[in-house]
């Protein structure tokens, strides 16, 4: 019985990680980034970036060491952009790096507000 439970747990964990993909939809909103998948095949990846939020957002892609691999312009509310990037096997961060000031003079940093997502590319 114990072996069966361990096997079921391992299968459930594998299923949660999901399949590897070479394309994805990336939804931007206040204040989150929602990739349709989080595991990519290493190599050329195409991202359809959709701003579903009220404010402009960006998509910045960095590797595990913090090196910027791609930094797109501001995507206005309701607009889309497409990014093609070559990802080697490894871990990456998708972030919005907009910093703005509201009417009361408060600084709003989209990244600090939670606009980030972690993804992985695998050569499986």
CATH number at residue 99: 2.60.40.420
Which tokens belong to 104? 């009361």
pLDDT given for residue 18 in this prediction: 60
Confidence of residue 17 (pLDDT cuts 50, 70, 90): low
Q: Which domain holds residue 70?
A: 20-122
Which tokens belong to 54? 């009220």
- Is 39 within the bounds of a domain? yes
- The domain tally of the chain equals 1
Q: Evaluate whether 88 touches 45 at the Cβ level (below 8 Å).
A: no
- Is 11 within the bounds of a domain? no
pLDDT given for residue 22 in this prediction: 94
- Is 12 within the bounds of a domain? no
Q: Is the pLDDT of residue 94 over 80?
A: yes
Q: Nearest 5°: phi and psi at 77?
A: -50, 130
23 secondary structure, DSSP code:
E
- Is 63 within the bounds of a domain? yes
- Is 69 within the bounds of a domain? yes
- Dump pLDDT digits (tens) for 37-78: 999 999 999 999 999 999 999 999 999 999 999 999 999 999
How far is C-alpha 41 from the geometric centre of its chain's CA atoms? 14
- Is 8 within the bounds of a domain? no
């Amino acid at each position: 019985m114990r072996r069966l439970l361990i096997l079921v747990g391992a299968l459930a964990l594998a299923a949660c990680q999901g399949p590897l993909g070479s394309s994805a939809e990336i939804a931007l909103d206040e204040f989150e980034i929602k990739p349709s998948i989080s595991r990519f095949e290493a190599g050329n990846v195409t991202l359809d970036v959709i701003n579903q939020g009220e404010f402009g957002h960006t998509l910045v892609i960095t590797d595990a060491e913090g090196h910027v691999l791609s930094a797109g312009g501001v995507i206005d509310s309701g607009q889309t952009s497409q990014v093609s990037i070559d990802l080697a096997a490894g871990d990456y961060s998708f972030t919005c790096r907009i910093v703005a000031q509201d009417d009361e003079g408060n600084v709003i940093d989209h990244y600090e507000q939670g606009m980030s997502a972690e993804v992985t590319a695998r050569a499986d």
